[in-house]
């Protein structure tokens, strides 16, 4: 008993120490956690400005991107952060994993040095917008002051005494070097004689600096970046891998479809691609930049769109403006009116940045102001007739004997009117147009107006585009479409063209990309258009 008491007394003391330590550790954990959170400069920022854009960046482009992220944050008071760097393939792989597993706080945008990966990501639905940024060339680099005299890729792979490395195919540079070697039938010696294949170009360049390799295939910009980071040059270019410059690495920025703040991400993308903001940073590190639009916090663009597109595009254009943080002023009117406006506009600020015409006839009238047009769709002219009257009408000739209220479009103010005039003046309808025009109840400047009047009961029949009727499913119930079996009835082709004087050609190019995206084109087809342009255009 005495022994046990003594032992118990002694151990009581120790026990309290152990317990106290346990309790103290809880306090320490809380204090350490608070301290670690306080370390974050932005930990106390309010929820109102708690917006963060996560950037994944290819290692070879990280330096100019880091500079631009800092400049953008300073300018806009935003919280962009490069949260991940690595090889382009490595990053694309992680983004795919995040996309598939539904990670909420993954990347908002990524910068990859491989345009094929960007294209694939876009096709897979991971990337919504892609901005081309810069071009870089694969080179054979050696340590500065090195004695190796390497003239070409074939020279490199044929000299077994040279210890060289290239990245794996997961990195853009590795893929590109292999493509060039394959073209020049050097792929086998290139693979056999290489000493290493690292995951990204920076790892390879570092191996070159430390002397682990004699030569390496890296980007020309990698050499520039590393030389600028040191007091004296550490690397030099021995030869270009593709002297013909046929194959080059294209750096691009992609905004992810899952981004929770796409507008801010796109704004940064515009900042990066702008020649006045992003350009200097890229040039500093030897990149050849892709000319983007000049930087404006909120660009302003004017669109002239034929009225036939209103049901399909009006909402989408509005969404585009919201997503891109752009003020879009669009006019949806008959093309004749739009053309007249284009001719009469004196203020360059009000001149349309792009024109989407209902027919090439009107585009030709203002072609001098626009770049080469692209045909997007075509459409048929049809007779839309109130259902109860449909039984007595088979062709336009039947209209002459029926006492019907006919609606036409003005041939001077709209493409539809002009095409209707052409149609009804040609064989087999010779001179029919004048007679119908005499009988017509109204002549308006746009097809949708005729459809509205038809629906309201003000007209019995109207010459309109098929899309004017099909755009609204409710209309097709009460209005019957009578097709006109004539080659001129399907002549309306809708061209898109960007203004030569626009300050935002890239923005307009992206708007066009949205228009020819498969989902938009599906809507075009549902609305009665025939699609002519594809995403490849």
Residue recorded with tokens 């597993």: 101
Q: Which residues of 81-93 are buried (b: 16+ CB within 10 A; e: fewer)?
A: eeebbbbbbbbbe
Q: How far is the CB of 367 from another protein (least distance, A)?
A: 49
Q: Decide if 511 contacts 352 (C-beta within 8 A).
A: no
338 is written with which tokens?
């739009």
Residues 296-325 binding another protein (CB under 8 A) are none
Query: What H or E segment, with its residue span, contains residue 314?
Result: helix 310-324
Of the candidate spans 51-59, 275-283, 440-448, 506-514, the one that interacts with another protein by CB under 8 A turns out to be: 51-59
CB of 108 to another protein, least distance (A): 11
For residue 428, cis peptide bond before it (omega within 30 degrees of 0)? yes
- Confirm or reject binding of residue 420 to another protein (CB under 8 A): no
25 makes contact with another protein (CB under 8 A):
yes
- Closest separation in Å from C-beta 144 to another protein: 14
What is the closest distance, in whole angstroms, from the C-beta atom of residue 78 to another protein in the complex?
13
| Interaction between residue 75 and another protein (CB under 8 A) | no
User: Which one, of 258, 270, 255, 321, lies nearest residue 75 by Cα?
Assistant: 270
CA-closest candidate to residue 304, choices 348, 354, 341, 343: 354
Q: Contacting another protein (CB under 8 A), which of 105, 183, 343, 364?
A: 105
Instruction: Return the range that interacts with another protein (CB under 8 A); candidates 29-37, 151-159, 301-309, 492-500.
Output: 29-37
- For another protein, give the closer residue by CB, 26 or 192: 26
Per CB under 8 A, 42 contacts another protein: yes
Q: Does 39 bind another protein (CB under 8 A)?
A: yes
Judge contact between 385 and 480, C-beta under 8 A. Answer: yes
Closest listed residue to residue 132, CA positions, set 14, 23, 288: 288
Least spacing, CB of residue 171 vs another protein, in Å:
12
Identify whether the C-beta of residue 226 lies closer than 8 Å to the C-beta of residue 209.
Answer: yes
- Of 117, 202, 408, 479, the one binding another protein (CB under 8 A) is 202
Q: Tell me the window of 202-210, 340-348, 431-439, 496-504 that interacts with another protein (CB under 8 A).
A: 202-210
Closest separation in Å from C-beta 229 to another protein = 5
Mapped onto helix, strand or coil, the DSSP state of residue 305 is strand
Shortest Å distance, C-beta 306 to another protein: 45
Q: What number of other Cβ atoms are within 10 A of residue 111's Cβ?
A: 29
Among the listed residues 6, 23, 28, 297, the single contact to another protein using CB under 8 A: 28
- The answer to whether 408 and 442 are in contact (CB under 8 A) is yes
Reference 154, options 185, 131, 128; nearest CA is: 185
Among 71, 73, 76, 94, binds another protein (CB under 8 A): 94
* Torsional class of 397: left (φ above 0), alpha (ψ -120 to 50), beta (otherwise): alpha
Nearer to another protein, 110 or 301 (CB): 110
Of 52, 212, 375, 439, the one binding another protein (CB under 8 A) is 52
Cis peptide bond upstream of 236, omega within 30:
no
Give the binding-site size for another protein (rule: CB under 8 A): 61
Stretch that binds another protein, among 101-109, 141-149, 394-402, 463-471 (CB under 8 A): 101-109
**Nearer to another protein by C-beta: 90 or 115?**
90
x/- track of binding to another protein for residues 150-189 (CB under 8 A): ----------------------------------------
Q: Which is nearer to another protein, 39 or 192 (CB)?
A: 39
223-262: contacts with another protein (CB under 8 A)? 225-226, 229-230
Smallest Cα–Cα separation from 255: which of 434, 127, 125, 139? Answer: 127
Cβ atoms of 251 and 171 closer than 8 Å:
no
Which of residues 6, 8, 388, 501 is near another protein by CB under 8 A? 8
DSSP state of 184: T
Nearer to another protein, 86 or 396 (CB): 86
φ, ψ (nearest 5 deg) of residue 315: -70, -40
Smallest distance from the beta carbon of 43 to another protein, in angstroms? 4
Distance CA 453, CA 446 (A): 11
Per CB under 8 A, does 47 bind another protein? yes
62 binds another protein, rule: CB under 8 A: yes
Interaction of residue 66 with another protein, rule CB under 8 A: yes
Does residue 14 touch another protein according to CB under 8 A? yes
Enumerate residues 204-223 that contact another protein by CB under 8 A.
Answer: 205-206, 209-210, 222
CA-nearest of 468, 474, 354 to 416 is 468
**Token pair 């096709």 is at which residue?**
123
- Is residue 43 within the footprint of another protein (CB under 8 A)? yes
Please provide the DSSP assignment of 218-280 as one string: EEHHHHHHHHHTSSS--EEEEEES-TT--S-EEEEEEEETT-S-HHHHHHHHHHHH-TTTHHH
Which of 138, 116, 114 lies closest to 243 in space, CA to CA? 138
Shortest distance, position 269 Cβ to another protein, whole Å: 19
CA distance 209 to 218: 13
* Residue 150: CB minimum distance to another protein, A: 22
DSSP bridge pairs for 439:
none
Phi, psi of 129 (to 5 degrees): -120, 145
Nearest residue (CB) to another protein, 66 versus 119: 66
Give the interface segment with another protein, choosing from 99-107, 164-172, 406-414, 499-507 (CB under 8 A). Answer: 99-107
Select from 6, 23, 38, 526 the one that contacts another protein (CB under 8 A): 38
Tell which residue, 412, 112, 426, 396, has the closest CA to residue 256.
112
Enumerate binding residues for another protein (CB under 8 A).
4, 8, 11-12, 14-15, 17-19, 25, 28-29, 32-47, 50, 52, 54, 59, 62-63, 66, 81-86, 94, 97-98, 101-105, 200, 202-203, 205-206, 209-210, 222, 225-226, 229-230
């Amino acid at each position: 008993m005495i022994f046990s008491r003594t032992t118990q007394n002694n151990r009581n003391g120790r026990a309290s120490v152990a317990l106290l330590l346990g309790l103290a550790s809880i306090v320490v954990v809380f204090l350490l956690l608070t301290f670690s959170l306080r370390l974050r400069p932005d930990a106390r920022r309010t929820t109102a400005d708690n917006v963060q854009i996560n950037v994944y960046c290819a290692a070879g482009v990280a330096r100019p991107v880091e500079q631009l992220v800092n400049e953008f944050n300073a300018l806009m008071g935003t919280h962009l952060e490069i949260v991940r760097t690595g090889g382009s393939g490595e990053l694309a792989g992680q983004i795919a994993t995040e996309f598939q597993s539904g990670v909420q706080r993954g990347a908002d945008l990524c910068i990859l040095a491989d345009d094929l990966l960007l294209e694939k990501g876009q096709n897979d639905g991971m990337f919504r917008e892609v901005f081309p940024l810069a071009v870089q060339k694969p080179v054979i680099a050696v340590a500065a002051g090195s004695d190796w005299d390497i003239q070409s890729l074939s020279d490199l792979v044929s000299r077994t005494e040279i210890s060289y490395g290239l990245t794996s195919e997961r990195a853009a540079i590795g893929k590109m070097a292999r493509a060039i070697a394959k073209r020049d039938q050097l792929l086998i010696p290139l693979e056999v004689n290489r000493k290493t294949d690292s995951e990204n170009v920076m790892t390879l360049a570092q191996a070159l600096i430390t002397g682990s390799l004699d030569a390496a295939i890296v980007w020309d910009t990698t050499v520039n970046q590393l030389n600028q980071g040191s007091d004296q040059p550490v690397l030099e270019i021995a030869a270009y891998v593709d002297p013909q410059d046929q194959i080059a690495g294209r750096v691009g920025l992609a905004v992810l479809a899952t981004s929770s703040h796409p507008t801010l991400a796109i704004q940064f993308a515009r900042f990066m691609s702008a020649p006045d903001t992003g350009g200097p940073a890229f040039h500093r590190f030897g990149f050849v930049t892709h000319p983007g639009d000049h930087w404006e916090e909120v660009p302003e663009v004017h669109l002239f769109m034929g009225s036939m597109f209103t049901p399909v595009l009006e909402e989408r254009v509005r969404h585009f403006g919201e997503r891109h943080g752009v003020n879009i002023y669009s006019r949806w009117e008959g093309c004749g009116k739009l053309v007249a406006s284009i001719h009469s506009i004196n203020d360059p600020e009000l001149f349309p940045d792009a024109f989407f015409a209902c027919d090439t006839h009107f585009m030709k009238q203002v072609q001098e102001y626009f770049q080469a047009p692209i045909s997007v769709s075509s459409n048929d002219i049809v007779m839309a007739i109130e259902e109860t009257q449909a039984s007595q009408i088979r062709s336009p000739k039947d209209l002459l004997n029926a006492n019907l209220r006919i609606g036409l479009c003005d041939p001077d103010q709209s493409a539809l009117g002009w095409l209707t005039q052409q149609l009804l003046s040609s064989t087999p309808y010779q001179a029919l147009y004048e007679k119908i025009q005499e009988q017509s109840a109204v002549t308006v400047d746009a097809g949708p107006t005729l459809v509205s009047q038809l629906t309201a009961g003000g007209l019995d029949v109207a010459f309109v585009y098929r899309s004017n009727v099909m755009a609204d499913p409710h209309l097709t119930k009460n209005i019957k479409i009578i097709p006109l079996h004539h080659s001129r009835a399907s002549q309306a082709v809708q061209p898109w063209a960007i203004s030569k004087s626009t300050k935002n050609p890239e923005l307009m190019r992206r708007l066009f990309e949205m228009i020819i995206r498969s989902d938009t084109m599906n809507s075009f087809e549902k609305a009665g258009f025939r699609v002519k342009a594809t995403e490849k255009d």
